[in-house]
């Protein structure tokens, strides 16, 4: 298997042979990665931004936004099957802290980020826990499914902007455009129901 790997501290990354993704555990799935998206975090790791230099421990497969086909499922996986098209969740929560036990895993005390704190998805195959996979409708283009995390960030930004008179867009152009379209659609819906 090949992967995009941050091999050493410092700018850059390499595409090189890499050990095959681990076999799925009882509640894990293995995905053949069919599409990935590059995020600002990936660029910070590639450029070796100060924040990433303090957190990332090379060697590490990069990437956290992806979609692909389930090729193997652990014996206790309940909702996913071989052939399903999934997107991977970027955030990996512990499932044990107070926040996780009360349904607030998005603010887990021990949150890890795929491709930052753990091995990433810029590889031919990626293994992850079933709770970190989102099942996609097969009609959604795989490239769109790979940008699910980025879209969710924009939805949050877009919705938060609809409660105020203005929306400050500070991220890259593509994310700003997505957030702006969400705000516009929310305003159109409100205007139609008046």
* pLDDT per residue as tens, the chain (194 positions): 999 999 999 999 999 999 877 899 999 999 999 999 998 899 999 999 999 999 999 999 999 999 999 999 999 999 999 999 999 988 899 999 999 999 888 889 999 999 999 999 999 999 999 999 999 998 989 988 888 665 555 555 444 444 445 555 555 555 555 555 666 665 666 666 66
Task: Tell me how crowded residue 92 is: count the other CB atoms within 10 A of its CB.
Answer: 22
Torsion sign across C-alpha atoms 105, 107, 108, 112: positive
Please indicate, yes or no, whether residues 31 and 102 belong to a single structural domain of this protein: yes
CATH assignment at residue 26? 3.90.180.10
Pairing of strands 133-135, 85-88: antiparallel
- The predicted pLDDT at position 106 comes to 81
Q: Which domain holds residue 24?
A: 2-146
Task: Tell me how crowded residue 42 is: count the other CB atoms within 10 A of its CB.
Answer: 23
CA distance 186 to 179: 11
Please indicate, yes or no, whether residues 61 and 142 belong to a single structural domain of this protein: yes
The domain tally of the chain equals 2
Please indicate, yes or no, whether residues 152 and 142 belong to a single structural domain of this protein: no
């Amino acid at each position: 298997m090949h992967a995009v790997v941050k091999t050493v501290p410092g700018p850059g990354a390499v595409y090189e042979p890499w050990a095959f993704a681990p076999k799925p555990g009882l509640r894990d799935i293995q995905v053949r990665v069919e599409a990935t998206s590059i995020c600002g975090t990936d660029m910070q790791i590639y450029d070796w931004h100060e924040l990433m230099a303090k957190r990332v421990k090379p060697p590490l497969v990069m990437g956290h936004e992806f979609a692909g086909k389930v090729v193997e499922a652990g014996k206790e996986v309940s909702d996913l099957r071989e052939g399903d098209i999934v997107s991977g969740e970027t955030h990996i929560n512990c499932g044990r802290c107070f926040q996780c036990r009360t349904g607030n895993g998005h603010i887990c005390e021990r949150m890890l980020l795929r491709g930052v704190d753990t091995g990433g998805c810029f590889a031919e195959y990626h293994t992850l826990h079933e709770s970190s996979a989102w099942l996609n409708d097969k009609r959604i283009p795989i490239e769109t499914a790979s940008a699910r995390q980025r879209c969710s960030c924009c939805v949050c930004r877009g919705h938060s902007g609809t409660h105020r008179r203005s929306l400050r867009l500070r991220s890259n152009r593509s994310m700003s455009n997505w957030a702006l379209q969400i705000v516009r659609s929310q305003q159109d819906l409100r205007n139609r129901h008046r």
